[in-house]
Amino acid sequence: MKDVVERILERALSGADLSVEEGVTLLRQREAEPIEQIRQAADRLRQQQVGETVTYVVNRNINFTNICEQHCSFCAFRRDSGDEGAYWLDWAQILEKATDGVKRGATEICMQGGLNPQATLNGAMLPYYLKLIETIKTEFPNLHLHAFSPQEVQFIAREDGLTYTDVIAALRDAGVGSMPGTAAEVLDDQVRKILCPEKIDSETWLEVVSTTHQQGLPTTSTMLSGHIETSEQQIRHFEQLRSLQQSAKSHGYTGITEFILLPFVGQEAPKPLRRRVGRDQPVLSDALLLTAVARIFLGHWIPNHQPSWVKLGLPGAIEALRWGCNDIGGTLMEEHITTMAGAKGGTCMEIEDLQAAIASLARPSQQRDTLYQKIG
Ligand code: SF4
């Protein structure tokens, strides 16, 4: 088996795009030696593709409501209106959080929320979302707004009877600068039936993200890993992201700026999925192997890879920088979605914490903006 792994890694290091079968072979390795070879190949590719510097972004998360019409089986964040713990920020609270972010040096606001059917203005949903944008952009026109998942776009389009293009163009014109590639979970409809049966299917997710690229907005990309999905489903997810990016690049769009692996945290998740998965916190070794294979499979197309310190804790995220990652993500300043799921990583990082963590690997650190331009 060792020779097979070596041959696959040689192909990857020579710049070839791996097949699904080759990706699955890498992910199925269980022995220490081939896994170390995979780690080293991912680390070399990272070095070739983006160099030694580890980047970070100073950003603030705003999750404007946790009231949501859906019931994803992994979600500990959602509430029905009137439930204990349900919240919905008003305009003043949103502005206050953005102002606090700016005072603390944020260059980006990352804004996403639950799918709240009551979130309308003048009887329509799009005006509510436009007002969210306006609330921040009127006060801080230069702040980058990284906002609204493909699921939120579909929710607005469905509620208001609009096309995805209509919704995305309106969000863009109001001031959204890029879109989070969240709600991807695993792009496999069998998995989605169990994980998020009410969410958009894989094809719709791909359609919304592709439409976003066509409208001139970059996106990120994500995968929720470590629950019920197989190695093959993980690699097919990567393959779909790769094709999406190939298509974006062939049309001259920026497309996907980064890939973020989001290992499942089940501690406070609804019981059926938690029981089925059988553990509360991610298995670090699984997440690291997947991180390395993501770099090997996607790196040539999607060169920026970010671990989630919220999900893995800072030590786990720092370790992931040795497995193909080149970015440590954002300061966030507050985080609800994963923290309510029982994650131990915390909700806020000071810039100095991120810089010190990067320095512990003897690699240089660099602040970046949302689109990976150097700051300072
Ligand atoms: S993951 Fe998002 S869409 Fe699903 S229930 Fe939670 S808040 Fe709602």
DSSP string for 94-136: HHHHHHHHHHTT-SEEEEE----TT--BTTBHHHHHHHHHHHH
pLDDT at 336: 81
Mutate to test the pocket of ligand 1, among 67, 77, 200 (most ligand atoms within 8 A of CB): 77
Q: Which of 370, 365, 275, 353 is nearest to 326 (CA)?
A: 365
Mean pLDDT for all residues in the chain = 96
Domain boundaries along the sequence of the chain: 54-368
Query: 2: pLDDT confidence band, cut at 50, 70 and 90?
Result: low
Mutate to test the pocket of ligand 1, among 67, 71, 75, 340 (most ligand atoms within 8 A of CB): 75
Confidence band of 1 (pLDDT split at 50, 70, 90): low
* Predicted confidence band of residue 339 (pLDDT cuts 50, 70, 90): confident
Rounded to an integer, what distance in angstroms lies between the CA atom of residue 376 and that of residue 374?
A: 7
Nearest CA to ligand 1 atom 3: 70
Read off the pLDDT of each residue in 45-56 and give the average, rounded to a whole number: 98
Query: How many angstroms separate the alpha carbon of residue 42 from the centre of ligand 1?
Result: 32
- Model confidence pLDDT, tens digit, residues 166-179: 999 999 999 999 99
Ligand 1 lining (C-beta closer than 6 Å): 68, 70-72, 75, 77-78, 114-115, 151, 196
Stretch 124-140: mean pLDDT, rounded?
98
**Percent share of the chain, pLDDT over 70:** 99
DSSP state of 345: S
- The residue to mutate among 196, 224, 227, 268, having the most atoms of ligand 1 within 8 angstroms of its beta carbon, is 196
**CA of 72 relative to ligand 1 center, distance in Å:** 6
Q: Which atom of ligand 1 is nearest to 77's Cα?
A: 6
Q: Which amino acid is at 121?
A: L
Fold assignment, 54-368: TIM Barrel (3.20.20)
CA of 77 to the centre of ligand 1 (A): 7
- The rounded distance, in Å, linking the Cα atoms of 34 and 38 is 6
Residue pLDDT, tens place only, 80-110: 999 999 999 999 999 999 999 999 999 999 9
Q: Which atom of ligand 1 is nearest to the CA of 75?
A: 6
